A and B are shown apart, each in its own frame.
Chain A
Amino acid sequence: MEKLLEQFSLGLFVWQLILFIGLLLLLRKFAWKPILNAVEKREEGIKGALEAAEAAKKEMQNVTADSEKLLKEARAERDTLLKEAREIKEGIISEAKEQAQVEGDKMIKQAQATIEAEKKAAVADIKAQVANLSVEIAEKVIKEELSNKDKQLKLVDDMLGDIKLN
């Protein structure tokens, strides 16, 4: 320590301080500021260029994604359209079937009703004809029976015999 203090030269210290500070100020003005500014400017430029490239890449990706999305959408739309068409077709067919069924049923019912009515009419007709025939037959039989006096008296007796006087 003593040696250090003894070695310490005030003159050298003063000169070092003056020269160093002078050098510092000169270099700051003429070297460090221009160098650092230039380096910074260049770095900014590189950074900007890189960012622009990155942005372009992203844009590109977006475009691709967009077109892909559009394609997907179109495909989905086509699918839904087809599905809808199929559904409509099926609906129409089933509706038609149903209608046909209903119509058929209705026609069958009408036919049955008609048949019934015809049948009733026929039966009535037959009944009337049978009655007429019966009356005619009865007329003819009675006419035959009543042509003879004996037979008439006998009939009256029979009928009188049937009637019981109470």
Chain B
Amino acid sequence: MHQFLRTHSCSDMRYSFVSRNLVAVFIMITGFVSAQNHEGEEVESGAHDLKTEIKEYIDHHLLDSHDFTLFSYTTDEGEHKNIGFPLPVILWDNGLKVFSSAQLEHGEGVAEVDGNYYTLYHNKIYKTDAEGTINFGSHHDEEVHSEDAFGENLVVEDAHPSNEKPLDLSITKNVVFIALVGLLMFLMFRSVAANYKKSNMPKGFGRALEPLVIFVRDEIAIPNIGEHKYKKYMSYLLTVFFFVWIINLLGLTPLGVNVTNNIAVTFALALITYLITTFSGNKNYWKHIFWMPGVPVPMKIILAPIELLGTFIKPFSLMIRLYANITAGHVVLMSIIGLMFIFKNWIGSPLSFVLAFTLSLLELLVAALQAYIFTMLSALYFGMATEEDHH
């Protein structure tokens, strides 16, 4: 496991806000523990390397990648080995460029397509020269660095590579996972649906899924949208509920492909909610936004931009809530697992095991809860958009 973590020190990830705070907590805890330790100095320096490694590992786990790595290790000769399979990289750079991510060698190689060179830096693809040179922020007067992409000791703060970034439409690990979850859901629910053709009662897996479908209908859709209009929105609500739930749950498996902690994914989901809300908004809904009834005219004028902003804030909060909950959960969980390797003593490791176990159970709940909240609020917004005038 120690080596397992070490392999990722090659990737230079930056602190996330959450993990930075957590690392501060680690230092406090480990400081406290090591103060009781006679070999305090040694542990402190050893822990520092480990902490960096753990932080990098967590950051790496949270990010998308261009290849599907199941696990990696370091050989006795210090060579990094990744077990997994490469995925297609699709770029739009004056024409479609498709090549295998194996050519990028996990950010350690330069891919050559039609005379163009590309390399990975911070999990993003940049256009480079044949040597894979990354140029840093020419607009930063103080920090002009030119760094080799393979360099391990980058000390560049807030540096953005000035290299050209081609439009990246690659089939990344997350895209593969989304497609797999989609396929899983399709097979699962189609078999449930097919069963109803034979008998009126659900059979097998359908017995577990049908109550959930009915739950979405009776507890989410009907109370929020109303008896008469909910049917139109059921497909979206059911799809988003099961999609988010299943993908959250699978993100907790040791395979650990975390999808909903990508702001792009939650943005796409929130955007669909926003579009459905906006396009199903009736006269009453728009009237309440632009010309709020029942308040004096100056207030109407003040309220209109606020209400209009509100229509964007609502799906925005959906996006942030799902993203932040899943990201925070994973960061905390992995940090606590990481604590085990920092403590390496009889008190800390079992403690962090118990904590990690408890937190995993909590995360199972969070996975379902976030799916529920996303669906619930979407239904609420649809309900607001289609509500009839009561005045």
Contact = CB atoms under 8 A, between A and B. Distances in A.
Contact of B235 (A9, A15, A22, A27): A27
Nearest to B199: A38
Contacts of B262: 7, 9, 12
Interface stretch (A39-47, A62-70, A84-92, A93-101): A39-47
Contacts of A15: 169, 171-172, 175, 178
B190 A30 contact: yes
Contacts of A27: 185-186, 189, 235, 238-239
B243 interface: yes
A146 interface: no
Interface of A: 3-4, 7-17, 19-24, 26-28, 30-39, 41-42, 45
8 contacts: A9-B168, A13-B265, A16-B178, A16-B265, A17-B271, A24-B235, A32-B189, A32-B213
Contacts of B185: 23, 27
Contact of B190 (A11, A14, A17, A31): A31
Please classify the interface of chain A as helix (H, G, I), strand (E, B), loop, or mixed, using the class held by over half of its residues: helix
B12 interface: no
Interface residues on B, range: 35 or more
Contact of B238 (A21, A32, A38, A41): A32
A9 B182 CA distance: 20
Contacts of B179: 19
Nearest to B66: A11
B193 interface: yes
Given A39-B214, A41-B200, A45-B200, A31 B267 contact: no
Interface of B: 14, 16-17, 63-64, 90, 167-172, 174-175, 178-179, 182, 185-186, 189-190, 192-194, 196-197, 200-201, 210, 213-214, 217, 231, 234-236, 238-239, 243, 262-265, 267-269, 271-272
Contacts of A11: 90, 167-170, 172, 175
A144 B32 CA distance: 191
Closest 9 CB pairs of A and B: A38-B196, A31-B189, A34-B193, A13-B264, A28-B235, A16-B268, A12-B264, A23-B182, A15-B175
A8 B192 contact: no
Contact of A32 (B210, B234, B269): B234
A37 B201 CA distance: 12
Given A15-B172, A30-B190, A34-B197, 8 more contacts: A16-B269, A19-B175, A24-B236, A30-B186, A31-B192, A34-B193, A37-B196, A38-B193
A133 B36 CA distance: 179
Contacts of A34: 193-194, 196-197
A21 B196 contact: no
Nearest to A36: B234
Contacts of B174: 12
B213 A42 contact: no
B182 A22 contact: yes
Contacts of B269: 16, 20
Contact of A35 (B182, B192, B265): B192
